[in-house]
């Protein structure tokens, strides 16, 4: 039997582990418990221990200090860390001091007891047999490892993360990310000369229960020769942060990724400005020109923006599109706060494009005319502070003034002059709510040089003078 000592300053955690974990199933027995490192050492002086499970943050003597001493005095004792810390440096310190694994306490909260002990048992057997494994001192075994299998959940919380199945030998690098070495897949050639179907063949004999399901990505990380453990774990974490969002394809069960390419790519990354992206997608041409739409999609994907930043930009753009296409949209454009992959984001963007196109198509105008009218509305919004006439806009979109007016009324349900006035009032309300600038300045930004005339039009449109509207908005917290 493997004799286990549990060290945690939280008595409920200790008692919960002792009572809930299936120790006997894995030939383990809890022989003692301690509330800090100092008491753990006292116990170990009088009692034999094979496996030490310890928290990191404890009073009197921390888990890190305990591990240092145990490594010096009891080199045969295997150590597993129990921690709430997901910080890379904490984990690296524990591994460097000899821990064979670390267990995030959230796993225990989700009752993943058998998986946890199964993994620990497998790692201890590997230790005893000298199997190929990551070395806690920072390198790999002398024969080296060229590739690792990785498993990522696209969303590390929720039902998907709880249902993921990985081999007992898998190590959890952070919540929702596992890695392991699979001799079935091997460390074979994965370069340009490799079989085009290698990503499928390498997994042909793998146990079906470990195949990726919905919301799970499987990656073969190659090009690891000469890289130490710290660098490899940094690559694993970096891939999730920068590349997984863009690489995931539901139709591809496994993806091969070269670690060296990732290191070079991320070191050479240049972040494009938000304004440049906004300018590309604020226009209307991509709605009607397929070639331009797919070109913009490829450019956007190639930028590999952090997914949070990408979503933030397009939430702002969707607000602009709602304002621009308000006259024709039956339902406003909606966007989620989170998309797990580029695949799901692209589906939303293509669906939004179809929504705008279909809304305009109901007016029984040609695609070319609708494109010109959308361009006219966009030009009007971009030039609200300028004098805008129907004739000038019609000329800019290559239509006669009379035909433009007829089509615009059919398309939007209002004249171009009415559209401009309503849009200017919308902008005025926004400036009144969100700035402390003078009424005269706001009037000028909305294309009116005469403050009194602007105030009269505003009251006709809104029912309040600009000053009254601002006061009301301020008191209501808008």
Per-residue confidence (pLDDT) for residue 405, from 0 to 100? 92
Per-residue confidence (pLDDT) for residue 279, from 0 to 100? 82
For the whole prediction, is pTM greater than 0.95? no
DSSP state of 26: G
Helix, strand, coil tally for the chain in percent (to 5): 55, 10, 35
Per-residue confidence (pLDDT) for residue 208, from 0 to 100? 47
- Cβ proximity of 467 and 439 under 8 Å: yes
Element containing residue 100 per DSSP (H, E): strand 99-104
Give yes or no: residues 168 and 223 share one domain.
yes
Q: Is 214 within the bounds of a domain?
A: yes
Q: Is 222 exposed, middle or buried (0-12, 13-18, 19+ CB in 10 A)?
A: buried
Domain end residue (candidates: 362, 394, 424): 362
Domain end residue (candidates: 362, 392, 414): 362
Q: Is 284 within the bounds of a domain?
A: no
CA–CA distance, 82 with 137 (Å, rounded to integer): 20
Domain end residue (candidates: 199, 234, 269): 269
Count of structural domains within the chain = 4
Per-residue confidence (pLDDT) for residue 89, from 0 to 100? 57
The CATH number covering residue 91 comes to 3.40.50.2300
Give yes or no: residues 87 and 171 share one domain.
no
Whose tokens are 């796993």? That residue is 107
Per-residue confidence (pLDDT) for residue 227, from 0 to 100? 78
Q: Is 102 within the bounds of a domain?
A: yes
Per-residue confidence (pLDDT) for residue 193, from 0 to 100? 39
Give yes or no: residues 382 and 336 share one domain.
no
Give yes or no: residues 37 and 100 share one domain.
yes
Per-residue confidence (pLDDT) for residue 346, from 0 to 100? 95
Q: Is 277 within the bounds of a domain?
A: no
Per-residue confidence (pLDDT) for residue 268, from 0 to 100? 53
Per-residue confidence (pLDDT) for residue 415, from 0 to 100? 92
Q: Is 275 within the bounds of a domain?
A: no
pLDDT digits (tens, 9 = 90+) for 189-241: 444 434 434 444 444 344 445 555 677 888 989 888 877 777 888 888 888 88
- Cβ proximity of 314 and 286 under 8 Å: no
Give yes or no: residues 5 and 124 share one domain.
yes
Give yes or no: residues 116 and 189 share one domain.
no
- Three-state DSSP class for 229? helix
Q: Is 427 within the bounds of a domain?
A: yes
Per-residue confidence (pLDDT) for residue 317, from 0 to 100? 92
Residues 6+ apart with CB under 8 A from 353: 286, 287, 293
Q: Is 281 within the bounds of a domain?
A: no
Give yes or no: residues 381 and 468 share one domain.
yes
Give yes or no: residues 71 and 150 share one domain.
no
Give yes or no: residues 86 and 110 share one domain.
yes
Give yes or no: residues 367 and 357 share one domain.
no
Give yes or no: residues 239 and 342 share one domain.
no
- Cβ proximity of 9 and 35 under 8 Å: yes
Taking 50 as the pLDDT cut, the residues of the chain under it are: 87, 110, 131-143, 157-158, 160, 185-208
Domain limits for position 59: 1-131
Give yes or no: residues 440 and 417 share one domain.
yes
Per-residue confidence (pLDDT) for residue 262, from 0 to 100? 80
């Amino acid at each position: 039997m493997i004799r286990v000592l549990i060290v945690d300053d939280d008595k409920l955690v200790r008692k919960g582990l002792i009572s809930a974990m299936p120790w006997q199933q894995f030939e383990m027995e809890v022989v003692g418990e301690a509330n800090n490192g100092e008491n753990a050492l006292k116990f170990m002086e009088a009692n034999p221990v094979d496996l030490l499970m310890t928290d990191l943050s404890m009073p009197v003597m921390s888990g890190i200090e305990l591990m240092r001493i145990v490594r010096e005095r009891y080199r045969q004792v295997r150590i597993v860390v129990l921690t709430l810390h997901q910080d890379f440096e904490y984990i690296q310190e524990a591994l460097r001091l000899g821990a064979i694994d670390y267990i995030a306490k959230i796993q225990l909260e989700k009752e993943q007891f058998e998986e946890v002990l199964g993994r620990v048992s497998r790692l201890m057997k590997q230790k005893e047999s000298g199997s190929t494994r990551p070395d806690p001192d920072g390198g790999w075994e002398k024969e080296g490892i060229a590739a690792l299998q990785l498993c990522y959940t696209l969303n590390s919380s929720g039902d998907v993360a709880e249902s993921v199945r990985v081999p007992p030998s898998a190590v959890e690098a952070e919540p929702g990310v596992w890695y392991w070495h699979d001799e079935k897949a091997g460390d074979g050639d994965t370069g340009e000369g490799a079989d085009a179907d290698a990503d499928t063949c390498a997994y042909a004999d793998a146990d079906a229960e470990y195949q990726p399901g919905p919301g799970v990505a499987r990656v073969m990380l190659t090009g690891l020769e000469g890289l130490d453990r710290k660098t490899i774990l940094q690559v694993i974490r970096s891939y999730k942060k920068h590349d997984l969002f863009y690489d995931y394809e539901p139709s591809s069960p496994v993806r091969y990724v070269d670690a060296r390419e990732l290191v070079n790519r991320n070191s050479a990354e240049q972040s494009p400005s938000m304004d440049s992206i906004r300018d590309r997608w604020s226009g209307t041409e991509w709605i009607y020109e397929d070639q331009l739409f797919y070109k913009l999609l490829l450019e956007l994907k190639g930028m590999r923006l952090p997914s949070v930043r990408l979503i933030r930009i397009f939430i702002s753009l969707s607000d602009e599109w709602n304002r621009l296409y308000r006259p024709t949209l039956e339902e406003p454009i909606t966007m989620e706060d989170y998309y797990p992959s580029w695949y799901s984001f692209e589906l939303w963007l293509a669906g939004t494009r179809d929504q705008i196109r279909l809304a305009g198509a109901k007016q029984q105008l040609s695609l070319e005319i609708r494109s010109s009218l959308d361009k006219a509305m966009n030009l009007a919004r971009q030039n609200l502070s300028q004098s805008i006439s129907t004739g000038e806009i019609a000329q800019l979109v290559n239509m006669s003034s009379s035909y433009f007016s007829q089509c615009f009324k059919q398309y939007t349900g209002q004249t171009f002059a009415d559209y401009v006035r309503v849009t200017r009032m919308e902008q005025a309300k926004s400036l009144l709510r969100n700035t402390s600038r003078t009424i005269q300045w706001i009037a000028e930004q909305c294309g009116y040089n005469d403050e009194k005339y602007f105030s009269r039009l505003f009251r006709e449109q809104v029912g309040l003078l600009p000053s009254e509207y601002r006061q009301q908005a301020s008191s209501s917290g808008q």
